[in-house]
């Protein structure tokens, strides 16, 4: 969370910084700021409460120009969202600093700094870093030494970048626990939390490693490792087509991303050439690791956790492999009994989620046969630190509520099921059946997208409601969970998901006319049981919204609205039904007038614990 962009160039950089922030806004958007050193070596600062657009407005009213600068978009952790708490933080009228992460010992450091005479202008943990750095610079240290001394005093996670008027063409940065990448230009260099911010200016990147310090100027790029030694980190060219982060004809990124799913799902499926024989799409050495896998332990957060929950059904039912799934924030701290032959599988759109990364890093302490990640962002921390990697081909996902990243994760997980199932007696016919279903998946998703207008009509009933219940059975239960998460994230309607069989054990008490009930009810073997549950809801005045296979025999009647879904192979139904639920949430949120792409209090990439 929080996005950092920095530039050291021979040209004016304010517009580059602002464009970088726009591209990083998914990381946080409660306040934003930018500091520049102008050609008279003055430090110029804009800080605004609210989105990056507020900062742009401030820059239009009072333009500041400079060739060296840092900028930040914030997701508040310590200190409420306000202009004072926005970054950059200034110290001694000479330096400005931006920070992503959490400084755990900030209270002690604050007290020390106050006793040395430093006044604090904010309630953030980050401001201590600015004053510490200032203190070391005042003692005569150069930028690199001063930053090294500063980070030695910090406990917690950080990516920081700072500029100092006494070193007007340089930016100093450090990373520990939060991502930071250098963008390499010609006669100019940049820094950012995510390469996406810098694709406007370069396609060559240096990914900083844990404990690295970096100093950039227009002509130089120096990296020092944790021991303070100068190191040469590889430059990674990113030569894929620059991904469109433009909205195009869509009103919201979320809608664009929902509609991008047929392409993204097909691209992800085609990442593996010959699933029936070859495991190389899961990374070098996949076959050797897969041969030893008896169990899969999945750790993930949010929507990615739901993908893991779906995968459990596939892995156990199709591949005959025991699978456990846990939210990474619990998994990382729990004392567990480890089974022999366990693969640790993390799932993460961003590849940077702090809890998921911690789950992977703790893996070293346990006996796993290997670690694997399913991620959407190449070169992210999870990708760099896992033995095996499968990259989903969702493309950049900007909307905070995950859509195409989730469904492409499911494709990856189904392909993994085949790779592992092949070793556990999954018949060639069954494997082929799943592959055939995956091949046809984009068409079924297209068909679901054609139901958009019908779904929009259904969504109207949710607008005045304060609660919603989502029901599913079996593999559709995690899909109900994902549907309810989507609704609460973007429409702020309180939504809960239950396995349909649990309805009478509690939630039925809540059912009334303020509680629409959504049932994910494809025509599978559980349908009949679900039908009797649904009757219980209806007879208590609840209104039902049933997403059903058109072959299932449901029809609309008073207080029951049925959306007839495409008749598709069982195994891909979780993916197809997800798309319909995404559209439902989207339309509810649009009609409620919420900020669909940037829902309040949330951030896309949670790089703090
Ligand atoms: C945040 C996002 C969610 C996402 C979760 C896990 O909470 O708002 O959309 O599912 O993080 O993120 P990851 O990048 O690890 O999938």
In the sheet where 89-91 sits, what is the strand order? 89-91, 95-103, 156-164, 167-176, 213-216, 221-224, 230-231
Residue-wise pLDDT tens digits, 129-172: 999 999 999 999 899 999 999 999 999 989 999 999 999 999 99
Would you say how long the chain is, in residues? 609
Reduced to 3 DSSP states, what percent helix, strand and coil does the chain have, rounded to the nearest 5? Answer: 40, 25, 40
From the CA of 583, how far away is ligand 1's center (Å)?
Answer: 19
Question: Band of the pLDDT at 543, cuts 50, 70, 90?
Answer: confident
Mean pLDDT, rounded, for 199-204: 92
Question: Band of the pLDDT at 603, cuts 50, 70, 90?
Answer: confident
Q: What percent of the chain shows pLDDT beyond 70? A: 96
Determine if ligand 1 sits within 6 Å of the CB of residue 403.
no
Determine if ligand 1 sits within 6 Å of the CB of residue 353.
yes
Ligand 1 atom nearest to 377, measured from its CA: 14
* Annotation marks residue 272 as catalytic: no
Q: What would you measure as the largest C-alpha separation in the chain, in angstroms?
A: 79
Residue-wise pLDDT tens digits, 225-264: 999 999 999 898 886 545 556 788 899 999 999 999 999 9
State residue 527's pLDDT score.
Answer: 59
Domains of the chain: 3-237 (3.60.20.10), 248-449 (3.40.50.10490), 451-609 (3.40.50.10490)
From the CA of 301, how far away is ligand 1's center (Å)?
Answer: 6
Query: Is the pLDDT score of 181 beyond 90?
Result: yes
* Annotation marks residue 232 as catalytic: no
From the CA of 402, how far away is ligand 1's center (Å)?
Answer: 7
Question: Band of the pLDDT at 58, cuts 50, 70, 90?
Answer: very high
Query: Nearest residue CA, atom 7 of ligand 1?
Result: 302
Among residues 2, 272, 301, 568, which one is catalytic?
A: 2
Determine if ligand 1 sits within 6 Å of the CB of residue 606.
yes
Determine if ligand 1 sits within 6 Å of the CB of residue 301.
yes
| Tally of CB atoms within 10 A around 11 | 12
Helix (H, G, I), strand (E, B) or coil at 179: coil
Which strand (E) or helix (H) includes residue 176? strand 167-176
Determine if ligand 1 sits within 6 Å of the CB of residue 304.
yes
Residue-wise pLDDT tens digits, 548-578: 998 877 788 878 899 999 999 999 999 999 9
Q: Judge contact between 159 and 100, C-beta under 8 A.
A: yes
């Amino acid at each position: 969370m929080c996005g950092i962009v920095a530039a050291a160039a021979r040209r004016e950089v304010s517009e580059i910084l602002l464009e970088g922030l726009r591209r990083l806004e998914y990381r946080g958007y409660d306040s934003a700021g930018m500091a520049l050193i102008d050609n008279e070596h003055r430090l110029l600062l804009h800080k605004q409460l609210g989105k990056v657009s507020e900062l742009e407005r401030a820059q239009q009213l009072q333009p500041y120009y400079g060739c060296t600068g840092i900028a930040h978009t914030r997701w508040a952790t310590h200190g409420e969202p306000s202009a004072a708490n926005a970054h950059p933080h200034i110290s001694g009228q000479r330096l400005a600093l931006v920070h992503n992460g959490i400084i755990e010992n900030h209270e002690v450091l604050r007290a020390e700094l106050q006793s040395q005479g430093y006044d604090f202008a904010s309630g953030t943990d980050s401001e201590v870093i600015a004053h510490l750095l200032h203190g070391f610079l005042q003692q005569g240290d150069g930028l690199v030494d001063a930053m090294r001394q500063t980070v030695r005093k910090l406990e917690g996670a950080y990516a920081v970048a700072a500029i100092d008027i006494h070193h007007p063409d340089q930016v100093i940065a450090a990373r520990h626990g939060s991502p930071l990448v250098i963008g390499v230009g010609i006669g100019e260099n940049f820094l950012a939390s995510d390469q996406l911010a810098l694709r406007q200016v370069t396609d060559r990147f240096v990914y900083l490693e844990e404990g690295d310090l970096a100093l950039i100027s227009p002509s130089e790029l120096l990296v020092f490792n944790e021991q303070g030694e100068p190191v040469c980190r590889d430059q990674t060219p990113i030569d894929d087509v620059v991904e469109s982060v433009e909205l195009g004809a869509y009103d919201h990124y979320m809608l664009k991303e929902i509609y991008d799913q047929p392409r993204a799902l097909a691209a992800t499926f085609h990442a593996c050439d010959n699933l029936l024989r070859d495991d190389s799409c899961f990374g070098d050495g996949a076959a050797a690791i897969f041969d030893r896998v008896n169990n899969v332990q999945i750790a993930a957060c949010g929507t990615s956790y739901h993908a893991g929950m779906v995968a459990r059904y596939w892995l156990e039912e199709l591949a005959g492999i025991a699978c456990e799934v846990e939210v990474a924030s619990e998994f990382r701290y729990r004392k567990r009994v480890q089974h022999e032959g366990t693969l640790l599988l993390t799932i993460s759109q961003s590849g940077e989620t702090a809890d998921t990364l911690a789950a992977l890093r703790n893996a070293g302490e346990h006996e796993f046969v290997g670690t694997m990640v399913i991620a959407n962002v190449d070169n992210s921390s999870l990708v760099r630190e896992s033995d095996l990697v499968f990259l989903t081909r969702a493309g950049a996902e900007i909307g905070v509520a995950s859509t195409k990243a989730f469904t492409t994760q499911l494709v990856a997980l189904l392909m993994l099921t085949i790779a592992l199932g092949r070793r556990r007696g999954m018949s060639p016919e069954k494997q082929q059946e799943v592959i055939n279903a995956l091949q046809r998946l984009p068409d079924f998703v297209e068909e679901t997208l054609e139901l958009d207008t019908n779904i929009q009509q259904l969504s109207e009933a949710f607008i005045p409601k304060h609660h919603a219940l989502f029901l599913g059975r079996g593999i559709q239960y995690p899909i109900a969970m994902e549907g309810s998460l989507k609704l609460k994230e973007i429409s702020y309607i309180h939504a809960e998901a239950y396995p349909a069989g649990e309805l009478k054990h509690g939630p039925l008490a809540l059912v009334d006319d303020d509680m629409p009930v959504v049932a994910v009810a494809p025509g599978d073997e559980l349908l009949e049981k679900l039908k009797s549950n649904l009757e219980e809801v209806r007879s208590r005045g609840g209104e039902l919204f049933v997403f059903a296979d058109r072959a299932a025999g449901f029809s609309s009647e008073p207080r029951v609205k049925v959306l007839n879904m495409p008749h598709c192979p069982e195994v891909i139904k979780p993916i197809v039904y997800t798309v319909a639920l995404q559209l439902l949430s989207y339309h509810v949120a649009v009609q409620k007038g919420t900020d669909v792409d940037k829902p309040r209090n949330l951030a896309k990439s949670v790089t703090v614990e």
